[in-house]
Structure 1
Amino acid sequence: MAQCPRGKTVMSGIPQEPVLGSMLFNIFINNIDSGIEYKLSKFTGNTKLTSAADTLEARNAVQRGLDRLKKWAHRHLVIFNKEKGNILHLDQEKPQYQYS
């Protein structure tokens, strides 16, 4: 629902620019998780790959997911901001795997 200029409630209509832009972007990235083995959370301007990588095979699967994301981005002319990328290591006892 929205308010029209005369103060009356409107029950339908066309989404305005901020909503429409986000909606179109979410449609655009809809297939970004195709073939990725772990959970991928997709939001406008924010994508998270979530995994418990406690074995070498699990870490390799995460790397494969990152590689798929890189290929998807290249194919769709999308640039990921590497400066905003983070890896959270919870077990300080194990060596920290370096992802690329």
Structure 2
Amino acid sequence: MKWHNPPSRWTASEGHLTLETGDQTDFWRETHYGFIRDSGHFFHQEVEGDFTATIRFSGEYRALYDQAGLMVRLDERHWIKAGIEYTDGVQHLSVVVTRGFSD
């Protein structure tokens, strides 16, 4: 596996990945507010054809919009991310679909 935007601190061993995210990192594309972010941390493996992905994760959600989860990415303009996002003091399920723009 390899990184797209590696965090400054991370370790991987025995099927576990531990990391500390950087400030203001995220993935968004041409949103309602007009900004583009491609600075999130993405640890990935390239695959071809059908696949199944299973993950288990936990996070120390503290700041607004802290999130962790799974991302499937074709390129910077086509991807989907799904996971847990910290909003209004509560963890929420969150999904963002991007096909040229994020929604």
Q: TM-score range by the shorter chain?
A: 0.3 to 0.5
Greater C-alpha Rg: 1
Higher relative CO (CA 8 A, sep ≥ 6), structure 1 or 2?
Answer: 2
Give the helix-richer structure, 1 or 2: 1
Give the strand-richer structure, 1 or 2: 2
